[in-house]
């Protein structure tokens, strides 16, 4: 009778689950980095035989670039057992920049309340072309409506 680990390993070795082997390879290479750098890795993925790591902070990218040269050479000479099916030509890192959602600090103020219209639509329209003359008159009407 097979146990759960044997069943899972036999499923992972099938061709339709090849992405699982790539995932195991990414996790194994991620474990080669120092712990503080492992915590800053958001995720990893393969694209055109290049292993890409997405990092959460620019400082982590800088340290990654320093450390990666010492890891690439041993990886090419003797890849981990989990990475036998995957060919890795290069390892790169990127920083994910997703700004935090800020609370509404302005209390719902709109830009119209903060910056009222200062123009009063008093200017001459010297445009000779009819289309341009009409566009300038439309702008004058918008300014006049906002001012009053």
Long-range contacts (CB closer than 8 Å, 24 or more residues apart) made by 33-36? 33/64, 33/67, 33/71, 34/67
pLDDT at 110 over 60: no
Q: What is the mean pLDDT of residues 82-86?
A: 80
Q: What separation in angstroms does the CA of 7 have from each of 2, 13, 54?
A: 7, 10, 32
Q: What is the mean pLDDT of residues 94-106?
A: 67
Tell me: do 122 and 90 sit in the same domain: no
Who wins on pLDDT, 21 or 27?
27
- Give the tokens for residue 104: 């509404």
Question: What pLDDT is stored for residue 117 in this prediction?
Answer: 66
Tell me: do 76 and 129 sit in the same domain: no
Binned at pLDDT 50, 70 and 90, residue 32 comes out as confident
Q: What is the mean pLDDT of residues 17-45?
A: 87
Q: What separation in angstroms does the CA of 106 have from each of 34, 54, 112, 117?
A: 42, 33, 13, 20
Binned at pLDDT 50, 70 and 90, residue 103 comes out as low
Binned at pLDDT 50, 70 and 90, residue 135 comes out as very high
Question: What pLDDT is stored for residue 114 in this prediction?
Answer: 63
Question: Residue 137 belongs to what domain range?
Answer: 116-147
Tell me: do 27 and 79 sit in the same domain: yes
Task: Name the average pLDDT for the chain.
Answer: 81
**CA–CA separation, 136 vs 142, rounded Å?**
10
**CA–CA separation, 100 vs 145, rounded Å?**
37
Question: What pLDDT is stored for residue 25 in this prediction?
Answer: 87
Number of domains in the chain: 2
Q: What is the mean pLDDT of residues 36-59?
A: 90
Please state the pTM of the whole predicted model: 0.57
pLDDT at 106 over 60: no
Tell me: do 21 and 65 sit in the same domain: yes
Beta strands in 3-144 (DSSP E): 41-47, 50-55, 90-95
- Spatial CA neighbour of 64 closest among 77, 53, 80, 50: 53
In a domain, 80, yes or no: yes
In a domain, 11, yes or no: yes
- Exposure on the CB side of residue 65, measured as CA atoms within 13 A: 7
In a domain, 105, yes or no: no
**CA–CA separation, 90 vs 88, rounded Å?**
6
Place of tokens 């990092």: 55
């Amino acid at each position: 009778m097979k146990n759960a680990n044997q069943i899972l390993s036999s499923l992972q070795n099938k061709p339709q689950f090849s992405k699982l082997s790539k995932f195991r390879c990414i996790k194994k290479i991620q474990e080669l980095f120092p712990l503080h750098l492992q915590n800053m890795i958001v995720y990893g993925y393969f694209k055109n035989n290049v292993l890409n790591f997405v990092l959460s902070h620019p400082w982590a990218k800088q340290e990654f670039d320093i450390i990666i040269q010492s890891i690439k050479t041993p990886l090419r000479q003797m890849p981990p057992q989990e990475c036998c099916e995957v060919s890795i030509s290069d390892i790169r890192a990127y920083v994910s920049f997703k700004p935090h959602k800020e609370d509404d600090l302005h209390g719902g103020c709109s830009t119209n309340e903060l910056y009222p219209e200062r123009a009063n639509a008093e200017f001459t329209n010297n445009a000779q072309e009819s289309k341009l003359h009409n566009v300038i008159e439309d702008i004058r009407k918008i300014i006049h409506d906002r001012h009053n």
